[in-house]
Structure 1
């Protein structure tokens, strides 16, 4: 029996692939009703087919508050307020401040990675609180949010902002039965890392990451690093003098920018 069996009604954004798909599969296998939120209909339909009576498919832009409200209303009309909401949808890509076209990339990344978490949580917050029962709000951040990295400013900024937002929300909800969980993955074998041209120590498979994440949330762990040893490595690097730390990172290959070979697609951004 997996720890995911302790959740009965879940919402997962970014459920089309990678970590989101692995989370959805784990929750479905555990018997939960799952709202599958993403942009790739075939992948979502394949997941829903695993438990047709317990799943529903939605394709909103997570940064669109009205679309997310409509999704939440439909789901709760069918199955009631969730006890688990996982804001997993996210995008990644290299960034160069000197390039005017990259400003649109940064804006879109902030809309999806940061604003998209708030628009995911907002429609469910009051209904979950009104239940008076335990519930969990999970935001998938990144170790990249712990410190800025050369050529990755937009992504790092979006994840650092997300970590701070989750800290604020956690403090606000302390008096309630709702918990807030910050997930900081290192490198997962997903489409977002497939084009990386640099070393990825501790590369973790999505299925294993999903199991660890759900077990940690079920146990009440507020800060979850995947895998844990990479968190220690990041902390050790963070103890170096800033100039030395930056020199080490500056020599590493950069994450591909939109339009470059190996770059992942960012919805709403067209390749030049």
Structure 2
């Protein structure tokens, strides 16, 4: 998922740039495009904060910029990270694509574990129940999810079994006794937690969530990239910097670069 930023239709601005000569003109144009790309990234961050409820830092920092380099036809681009790694098997693009284009939510790792353990029925997904402990962003706390998966003997990662056992230490935690599958008749409807006299549903089994288009990534980038007045202002600033000898070197980070 990416959007491009260029200045091919700004004839007057490009003519002004050409007066700098072949040495400075490409550098100035690349600098102006990169500054515009940073503005687009900031606009995307503001859009996330507007349309998502309590977006996580991981979500807010999910965009990156491919910075323009001096050339005959430089172009900057902004994209949603499509690489995964570490403990997360999914990329930011995997999570955000349904929010951009609408459609089905991806299967989360916890759902994969529960399915493999034969607990989560086919075609069902999980959402926090009334008894779930939530983090500051409205998601179930990672520690609580680990307790649930361990107690249900569904926590298998990287070929290892991290589920609760019959050891004294594990029994003292009480997770194996606390969590169980709630059913309506023969139908599994969720996971409950019982601690003493307290009983609450912590995970509910639901149909696959369907997302409508919420995060208008392409529209936000397009509004910034096609704002002639804004891009022309950045070009004018780059020309002024070039004339004063203040353009960044080709090998250095462009003005205003973020993450």
TM-score, scaled to structure 1 = 0.26
Specify which structure has the bigger relative contact order, considering alpha-carbon pairs within 8 angstroms and separated by 6 or more residues.
2
Task: Flag the structure with higher strand content.
Answer: 2
